[in-house]
Amino acid sequence: MRPSLRGAGVVCALIAGLLPVSSATASATTAAEPLPLERLFDNTAVSDDSRPAEADFDGSGASLSAHDLAAAGWSPGRTLTVQGARLTWPDSSAGEPDNVLADGQNIRLHGRGDALAFLVAGTTGEEVTGPGTVAYANGTRTPYRLTAPDWRTGPLATKALALPHVNTPDGQLTERARLYVVTVPLAEGREVASVRLPRAPGLHVFAVSVRTDTAGWTGSWSTATGGYAAVGPWTDRTLRLVVHTSAGGPRVRVRFDNTFAATPVRIGSATVAVQASGATPQGTPLPLSFGGAPGTEIPAGAQVFSDPLGFEVPADTNLLVSFHLPGTVSAAPVHRLAQQRSYLSEPGDHSADGSATAYTSILTNWPLLAGVDVGGGPGSVVLLGDSITDGDKSTVDANRRWPNVLASRQLGQDEVPHYGVLNQGISGNRVVADRYPGDGISMDTAGVNALNRFDRDVLAQPSVRTAVVFEGVNDVRWGADSEQVIEGLRQLADRGHARGLRMLAATIVPCEGEARCTAAVDTERVEVNAWIRDTGVFDAVLDFDAALRDPAHPSRILPEYDSGDHLHPGDAGLAALASSVDLRALMP
């Protein structure tokens, strides 16, 4: 029997389609006047550690710790951004009602966007699911399905926040309590008027919002968080990170992500500049702001966007994003393999420095910084991949990853819009098995699997139009069979299509000669590739296998494209991948 993918912790809420509901259903869903969610709170999930009996989240007297929530930066009434959605943690004191047990309540909600975002958890010991309905201002309705993992047994790989304790009437348990953000798609362009919750015993809803679309912004650079690693420790230090743009524009905003974290992190100040060389900017770096303030605190598991800044961002150019960490940071979300040297300062706030003097240490990863967006533009193409997309074995500081070459190709022509190209590759990543477990400090920064990171790393990216999935070689090299990889790829295609994305897949390139790439592994690879090419599940296929393989020996990379380890292409091979892409295939 093949192992089930449900065990991989896949958290998704798929809809069968945006369909009208029956008249009987429509009548039932309009029976109650919509009310704000907080007016309907009927359960108490949070207790003071000294008074745990004040709350009963799960029916057995267990509850979340108010102290743990505060330590994570989730204070009552605070609005947090998770997966691009702004959600407000209930403005309730410990021991007061703070969530709704989903039982068909009609929630007043307004806005236009690409998705509904729910802050949820289940309390039945297993995931809870049920159908609901979205009502729009024009009188139409669409169904959705909401799934909430369990607060004590659900997957850590997809949680928004894990707390270190569970409060019970008999004392506090050292056990992870989980909260989840789950998104479901909305009908494009329609204004939401209300949301009918499912009738699903044990499904708790703390907050719901419309994730507003990101029209007016194009993602120019991004990276995927691969794990939560020990760093420094850094106290009163400034990081000056070098990133390479794809699209350009007249405005800029940056995004910091505190994914996988257990505690908040403070950004004291931040700036942006075009790089002259090394840590030296062209001119004086321009200050970024956050809600009008020079700095911000990022709660555990959340993200923050800087305010829009009028700044002409050149396309295909290195930027310096500098930010001061005034406190002590001993662990941080990181993207390990930057293939780019960045810089760490001596003590002090050196974010506005116009020279490189204070930047005396080299960084080879990207901590905390996760995105740079530019104003205007046609939207973004997201490349979801592993080490080959990440640029492993490409020349450091040269921006010769295949996504960089693809972005340059786009800029050199006028047949296809100049999309932003977002590199969401993580070295070591897999389709169906987590490398990083999704919680805690770890040396493994190969990420949660592609299914588990799809919402955060693809669907939540700004103005995404098309996604390319180029993964699978690590799965088959480490024991997965073709059927498991195929099922994972099918789920990715379905989830992207449900959100209106154009979904492309790239075939897996050969790797004979690398220690794990046995003849049996190559058989699984060939089977996956045949499925990608022949089934039509994806909207188009990028045949990277054909682009790199040796015609005389198809199970290995052509020698001139091989970096030398027989698994990763070198600069010439990466350029060949980008050159093989029909740019018209990227257009929705």
pLDDT in tens, the chain (588 residues): 333 333 333 333 333 333 333 333 333 434 579 999 999 999 999 999 999 999 999 999 999 999 999 999 999 999 999 999 999 999 999 999 999 999 999 999 999 999 999 999 999 999 999 999 999 999 999 999 999 999 999 999 999 999 999 999 999 999 999 999 999 999 999 999 999 999 999 999 999 999 987 779 999 999 999 999 999 999 999 999 999 999 999 999 999 999 999 999 999 999 999 999 999 999 999 999 999 999 999 999 999 999 999 999 999 999 999 999 999 999 999 999 999 999 999 999 999 999 999 999 999 999 999 999 999 999 999 999 999 999 999 999 999 999 999 999 999 999 999 999 999 999 999 999 999 999 999 999 999 999 999 999 999 999 999 999 999 999 999 999 999 999 999 999 999 999 999 999 999 999 999 999 999 999 999 999 999 999 999 999 999 999 999 999 999 999 999 999 999 999 999 999 999 999 999 999
* Pairing outcome for strands 227-244 and 280-281: unpaired
8 A C-beta contact, residue 271 and residue 285: yes
* Tokens (6 digits) for 498: 């449900």
Assigned superfamily of 378-588: SGNH hydrolase (3.40.50.1110)
Question: 583: how many CB neighbours lie within 10 A of its CB?
Answer: 15
Q: What pLDDT was estimated at residue 214?
A: 78
Other Cβ atoms closer than 10 A to 396: 12
Q: What are the sequence ranges of the domains in the chain?
A: 5-212, 228-371, 378-588
Q: Which is nearest to 85 in space by CA: 451, 462, 371?
A: 462
d(CA 190, CA 142): 11
Q: What is the pLDDT of residue 31?
A: 54
Shortest CA distance to 207 belongs to which of 116, 114, 104?
A: 116
Whole-model pTM?
0.93
> Which pLDDT score, from 0 to 100, does residue 1 have?
33
Q: Alpha carbon of 74 to those of 90, 158, 175, 402: distances in Å?
A: 9, 18, 18, 39
Residue 434 and residue 452 in contact, taking contact as beta carbons nearer than 8 Å:
yes
How far apart, in whole angstroms, are the C-alpha atoms of residue 470 and residue 24? 45
Distance, CA of 18 to CA of 26 (rounded, Å)? 15
User: In whole angstroms, what separates CA 530 from the centre of its chain?
Assistant: 29
Task: Count each helix (H run) and each strand (E run) in the chain, helices first.
Answer: 10, 37
Instruction: Write the Ramachandran bin of 132: left for phi over 0, alpha for psi from -120 to 50, otherwise beta.
Output: beta
Note the maximum CA span of the chain. Answer: 73
Q: How far apart are CA 532 and CA 490, in angstroms?
A: 9
* Beta strands, E only, 376-511: 380-385, 420-425, 464-470, 502-506
216-247 b/e with 16+ CB inside 10 Å = b? ebbbbbbbbbbbbbebeebeebbbbbbbbbbb
Q: pLDDT at position 68, please? A: 98
pLDDT of residue 413: 97
β pairing state of 199-212 and 100-103: antiparallel
Q: Distance between CA atoms of 287 and 349, rounded to whole angstroms?
A: 12
pLDDT the model gives residue 485 = 98
How are beta strands 217-222 and 249-257 bridged, if at all? unpaired
CB atoms near residue 152 (< 10 Å): 18
Does a cis peptide bond (omega within 30 degrees of 0) precede residue 149?
A: no
DSSP designation for 6: G
Q: Which residues contact 400 (CB under 8 A, 6 or more apart)?
A: 391, 394, 571, 574, 575
Q: What does the DSSP 8-state code read for residue 560? A: G
Distance CA 444, CA 438 (A): 10
- If one counts every other C-beta atom within 10 angstroms of the C-beta of residue 42, the result is 11
User: Could you count the other beta carbons within 10 Å of the beta carbon of residue 277?
Assistant: 9
